[in-house]
Structure 1
């Protein structure tokens, strides 16, 4: 079995480094190589040093299993050289699948070791870290790394010279995926790229945690989605069951720290010495830095919400999240159904010049509005009309970037509208509840809570089902439905927009100060954001 696994690993890695149209973009995408910015690794190594028990004349074993150009190990050695206590010796292990970059890493690490006031032994090797000798598990005092940010099927057919090469790539990635899932069963739910593709960064985290000693510490750079997405829930639990989270730092995509990648990132410092020392989550936003403590209240909240670790929040916002998370969720509302209507693949073949059914796509929808600039019609003679098109429904845009000011944008469609799958669809037989739902979806409070679970550029019904949703009294239903109808008639009426926000806050049992916290978090300029 081991011989077969090694062969799969060897063939896969050889293909990833040479078996396709090797433009810089394709190469980086294939092996998931996004080198860590100095701002990030300086802070991470500082946190590692604060939490590592450095003893005079000790021997420290440090590893970077995905070393890239060696910058993380080199920075660690540089910081360690300035510490008050010095080890007797540091044994460095560094791996990468790319021979050219491992040569650069060796040079970088050796240069950093030249003037160190301790002995440095450097062991670098071209190899697949995921297929390392399992006898090395638990061997290292410190693991500092940035695993590959790609999937096992990151390349499309146009990256290959021939169809045969692309098919060979597909065969190899399928075999390699089986190797990974067998060796790292804790990365369950890891399929998030479609068509069986596996997120390699999650497997990188699993390996990094296995490599450190029971008294060891791990610093790792990851895509920010790890902190809260449902696909990482099992891995997060495994991580937090065995390690204390000393710090998590968040860097939003708008900072553009990673050259060539519009990617939000985090780093985590995880300590195998489990004790009551509290950690912190720090978010480096474009205009400010905010943080909060990982106290007992937080962990009670996290435990009951899939071990999520919200990023981008300050202390009072986390307290509000903890309060709201005790409420029922939208998914528990039995009389509200969330889903989609029709697939937009080759949709032009199902459209016509005129029919009783108007076809609507996501870009046509903003808060309480449907654009009239484009009018497309669905041909019911070519494809059946979904039953939900025969009645009123609430729809919201599926595509919404993490960096956008307003993530949830919804409106009400009358009967006779067919929604493409770039829209989510909510139906309810009670028209008042449907309008109240629309008011809640577009509110500051719902937006505030939705952001805790929206970790990708999509607003799926599965994500919205996890958001707290209030039980509405008959009196509030009546008031909210009336106000929503007023807004639908005039979406620019700021007094009605403010009123629906107040009514939603009442439904969530929030004080004016708590509503203010939510509004300030999602609308820092003090204005209700309804459009982009």
Structure 2
């Protein structure tokens, strides 16, 4: 049975009024059209859809239910739902609603769902709506028993590569529509707004879509969402995460690595979550991790404490799996790096010069050598600086008068190690592809101890838990737990190992790791567990780490 509603006109006020035009659908930036960039049009792959459905079908009440996919695409999530329900012998009526802003895609979705429901014998009432979900969701608040969806994946902002394809009037119209849409969404969906925006832009449509899905589900209903990993890992979505964790009973969380290429046109990790709309009595979701071959590598139920989740800004390190949560709990009683910044002679951390237009202020001679991220490696300067800041160039930052610890701002997730830090002397100036830190009292011994900690496996595993992209943000680093640096014996020991590492002693590169692990209070068995999160480390290196004589030393 199908109830078809008239095509709606809500989307005409959407910025898509311009990108819907054929000439803009033809514009490509990389492997995406301007249309797909604006609306975040990426359909859910089978592995992800199947996991999401399997995680929710046994939570449904055995009675007729209402279901909506507010970003339906070609209907594949609802088809997957029908398949999952068929597998458990479901016979109850489903009142299915499909919402989609692309009328042609919605026709395909309607056909797919109708045909599959007929083939598996599940009774349905099917309603379809061509609409802008962001504008109509509030009209249907708490109306559905089940919301299952994959919201659009894009940041609402202009791209210079796109704008160069547009004429002056079209460019102005496109920007105007984007800004109008951003203002509307900011007002209508406050929970999903980033804690900070850059140049006035930054609304993430996947976050907004998640908030819309949460709005649509009724009390005791089920919300099941596909999202980029960044929903549970970035530094700007804490409000939305807090709402999910505080007001919904999370039952299932799953991680899908970027290397799996689950989405053909998306090179980033993704997650799914299933949650029941009721205040949680406890946090005990099943955490599943898939490998790059699309196979389920691990699935375990984890008991989370509110203290631990709150302390991470409600970040959930799904990429580390259930074991990652257990590991991180071992550090929870230690201070955070951010606490080193709390008094007058404390740590200063930040970035120095914007290197975007660096060629305009660099020369071959000068007093202040210029350093970029790619020029450093762990404990070493891989490429000595050959360019200098012009005398009439940008103001030399005050931090350049100190010896500093520096680390790369970018490191891809598929690298064996993601923290690349070393020391640089005073007078050198860094671009913003490096973060820098120094103690205001110029305590270089303590700074070297901090360098050992930041280059360590114990530190990096925590960083990885807080990252969703290749960007090693200062915000994430500040949240990492570190050993107490008030213990002078620890500081002197770590500083000594760093001196050896900086001089090129290869054996010190093994032993300092053990010294840091022991400073964290980790025994050898726990450290062995940490190593499982670094699968790209050469086997001889991991063997040397575990065989280090320092494990048997008393201090």
Fold shared per TM-score above 0.5? yes
Say whether the 8 Å CA contact 2:253–2:271 is kept in structure 1.
Answer: yes
Q: Please, which moves more after superposition, 452-461 or 381-390?
A: 381-390
Aligned to 1:480: 494
In structure 1, the partner of 2:335 is 328
Instruction: Give the match for residue 47 of structure 1.
Output: 55
Which deviations, in whole Å up to 9, do the C-alpha atoms of 1:178-220 show, x marking residues without a partner?
Answer: 2112111222435567532310100100110111121211111
Residue in 1 aligned with 2:480? Answer: 467
Question: Separation in 2 of the partners of 1:159 and 1:201?
Answer: 26
Q: 1:187 aligns with which of 189, 192, 196?
A: 192
- C-alpha contact (below 8 Å) 1:330/1:465 kept by paired residues: yes
Is 1:503 equivalent to 2:515 in the alignment?
yes
Aligned residue for 1:383, secondary structure, equals coil
Is 1:251–2:251 an aligned residue pair?
Answer: no
Instruction: Quote the Cα distance in structure 1 between the aligned partners of 2:531 and 2:282.
Output: 34
Q: Give the alignment partner of residue 461 of structure 2, picking from 448, 461, 465.
A: 448
CA–CA distance in 1 between the matches of 2:198 and 2:395? 30
User: Which residue in 1 is equivalent to 2:100?
Assistant: 96
Bigger drift between 284-293 and 397-406 goes to 284-293
> Could you say what secondary structure the match of 1:257 adopts?
coil
- Tell me how far apart the structure 2 counterparts of residues 302 and 258 of structure 1 sit (CA, whole Å): 29
Any unmatched runs of 5+ in structure 2? 1-8, 543-555
CA displacement at 1:258 relative to structure 2: 0.6
Shift in CA distance, 277/466, structure 1 to aligned 2, threshold 3 Å = closer
* Within-5 A mapping of 1:418-433: 418-428=429-439, 429-433=442-446
Q: CA-to-partner distance for each residue in 1:432-477, whole Å, 9 max, x for gaps?
A: 0111111111111011111111222211222211111211211121
Residues 140-185 of structure 1 deviation map (CA, whole Å, 9 limit, x = unaligned)? 1111110000122254343643022122111111111121121112
Map of 1:147 onto structure 2: 151
1:232 to 237, 243, 246: 237
Summarize deviations over 1:355-403 as a string: whole Å, max 9, x none.
Answer: 1221111111110111236622222333332222233111111011233
Cα distance 1:147–1:153, how it changes in 2: closer, same or farther (>3 A)?
A: same
Of 292, 309, 317, the residue aligned with 2:316 is: 309
| Length, aligned pairs only | 517
- Partners in 2 of 1:159 and 1:101 — Cα distance? 28
Secondary structure in 2 matching 1:63: strand
Distance in 1 of aligned mates of 2:125 and 2:72: 16
Indicate conservation of the 8 Å contact 1:20/1:161, yes or no.
Answer: no
The change in CA–CA distance for 1:415 and 1:344 in structure 2 (over 3 A counts) is same
In 2, the alpha carbon distance for the partners of 1:383 and 1:189 equals 31
Query: Which deviates the most, 375-384 or 17-26?
Result: 17-26
Residue 415 (structure 1) aligned to one of 399, 413, 426: 426
Counterpart of 1:71 in structure 2 is: 76
Go from structure 1 to structure 2 and tell me whether the alpha carbon gap of 1:91 and 1:269 turns closer, same or farther (over 3 Å shift): same
Aligned to 2:357: 346
Alignment of 1:390-409 (within 5 A): 390-409=401-420
Contact 2:369 2:386 in 1 (8 A): yes
Tell me the C-alpha RMSD between the 2 structures: 2.2
1:260 is the counterpart of 2:265: yes
Q: Per-residue CA shift, 1:56-84, capped at 9, x if unaligned?
A: xx322111000111111112122223323
Partners of 1:116 and 1:159 in 2: CA distance: 50
1:357/1:418 contact within 8 Å kept: yes
Tell me whether 1:22 sits opposite 2:31 in the alignment: no
1:325 to partner: Cα distance: 2.3
Give the match's secondary structure for 1:319.
helix
Q: CA 1:160/1:387 → structure 2, altered by over 3 Å: closer, same or farther? A: same
Whole-angstrom distance in 2 between the partners of 1:266 and 1:191: 23
Give CA deviations for 1:456-501 in whole Å, capped at 9, x if unaligned. Answer: 22112222111112112111211211211111110xx332012111
Normalised TM-score (structure 1): 0.92
Contact 2:11 2:131 in 1 (8 A): no
What's the counterpart of residue 172 of structure 1?
Answer: 177
Question: Which residue of the other structure, out of 277, 290, 294, is the alignment partner of 2:298?
Answer: 290
Q: How far apart, in 1, do the equivalents of 2:375 and 2:84 lie?
A: 53
How much has 1:267 moved relative to structure 2? Answer: 0.6
| Matching residue of 1:355 | 366
SS state at 2:507 partner? helix
| Other-structure match for 2:546 | none
Asked if the contact 2:138–2:215 (Cα under 8 Å) also holds between the matched residues in 1, the reply is no
CA distance in 1, matches of 2:415, 2:197: 22
**Displacement after TM superposition at 1:502 (Å):** 1.5
Do the aligned residues in 2 keep the contact of 1:448 with 1:521 (CA within 8 Å)?
yes
Q: 1:3 aligns to what?
A: none
Q: 1:229 to 1:192 in 2, by over 3 A?
A: farther
Residues in 2 aligned to 1:527 and 1:264: alpha-carbon distance in whole angstroms: 29
2:13 alignment counterpart: 10
